[in-house]
Amino acid sequence: MPTEDRVSDTTPPSVDELLQRVEEVAPLPHVATRVIQVTEEDPFLAYDPAIIATDTALTVKMLRGANSAFYGYPRRITTVRDSVVLIGFRAVRATAIAAAIIDLFPGADDGPFGIDLFWGHAVACGLVAEAIARETGRARPDEAFTAGLLHDLGQLVLSQYEPERFGRGLYRAMNGAEPMEVAERLEFGYDHAQLGAALTSQWNFPSDICTAIAEHHNLDQAPDLRGLTYVHTQANGPCHKHGLWCGLDTLDGTKGYGAPGSISDDLSSRRS
């Protein structure tokens, strides 16, 4: 995975230039693309085991998940068909997407932007968004979960393809100079939300998910937002408020998640 610096180049790469570099080095696998397409076209097609079975690595991950204690199935699952039926529609898409992106952007966990913290925040935001969607009826819960899982995808791209410039913005944000998205705009001329929306659009994700990713920091506009975008802005806020941050350590060395407090109160206040 390239992590070349652009210190000698005073002009940051454009969104299109970064997308081209991602496409050249780490395109989204065909199986993940196909799962995204079929689950949008017809959810029942997601249960076709032939789609998953063409990718051996993804098959192994799904069988491992189906046999985990989380599902508690009484017998061992050994086929793709049984795995897909057991895991369900939302998990089919989430597993395919997460497995593919983890492989594309493996990251590192030895600096302030930790990959474990990144995915911890991503999953938390997905689950909170799904809960809000179920309670309010403003969006499909499965789409809310997917949008939450991917909303900070742009940070993965910036941290691995532009580590020096991204690191400068990260340091400014950690020092409290400005929010991370503002620091990114100062460094690049755009932020991770814009980049993530452009990348998911390039990967042919549904337009509602792309829009939710693009707008997830616009909390001040939340009352005027609709559907999935509204749900997602409401999910991201409580996750940050309760310490479920994205890939950051604070300057005093404490981890960016696990802060005390009940997120359920925030969820209750968002029911409508």
Q: Which of the two residues, 218 and 131, has the higher pLDDT score? A: 131
pLDDT at 184: 94
**Which residues have CB under 8 Å from 48's CB, separation 6+?**
38
Instruction: Count other C-beta atoms under 10 Å from residue 138's C-beta.
Output: 19
Least confident of 77-91, 112-126, 133-147: 77-91
Q: What is the mean pLDDT of residues 71-76?
A: 78
Q: How much of the chain, in percent, has pLDDT values that exceed 90? A: 18
> pLDDT value at position 187?
95
Look at residues 166, 163, 172, 190 and name the one whose alpha carbon lies nearest to residue 3: 163
Residue 238: pLDDT band by 50, 70, 90 thresholds? confident
Nearest to 129 by CA among 270, 272, 242, 259: 270
Which own/partner contact pairs does 193-197 have at CB distance under 8 Å and 24+ positions apart? 193/151, 193/154, 193/217, 194/15, 194/154, 195/15, 195/18, 195/153, 195/154, 195/157, 195/158, 196/150, 196/151, 196/152, 196/153, 196/154, 196/155, 196/157, 197/154
30 C-beta neighbours (distance < 10 Å), count: 12
- pLDDT band at 142, cuts 50/70/90? confident
* pLDDT score recorded for residue 5: 41
Tell me the average pLDDT across 226-248: 74
* Cross-strand bridge partners of residue 255: 249
Task: Report the pLDDT averaged over residues 209-238.
Answer: 80
How much is the pLDDT for 92? 65
If one compares 38 and 184, the residue with the highest pLDDT of the two is 184
Average pLDDT taken over every residue of the chain:
76
- Looking at mean pLDDT, say which of 99-103, 149-153, 229-233, 239-243 comes out highest: 149-153
pLDDT at 230 over 90: no
- Tell me which of 112 and 248 has the higher pLDDT: 112
The mean pLDDT of 203-212, rounded to a whole number, is 89
Number of helical (H) and strand (E) elements in the chain, helices listed first: 15, 0
Q: What pLDDT score does 33 carry?
A: 77
Q: What pLDDT was estimated at residue 29?
A: 79
Identify which of 88-92, 122-126, 155-159, 172-176 has the greatest average pLDDT: 155-159
Predicted pLDDT at 74:
81
Q: Once rounded to an integer, what is the mean pLDDT over residues 199-209?
A: 90
Three-state DSSP at 2 gives coil
Q: Does position 248 have pLDDT exceeding 70, yes or no? A: no
pLDDT at residue 107, rounded to an integer: 67
Per-residue pLDDT, averaged over 52-66, amounts to: 76
- Measure Cα distances from 149 to 93, 95, 187 in Å: 11, 11, 25
8 vs 178, residue with greater confidence = 178
Can you tell me the mean pLDDT for 95-99?
74
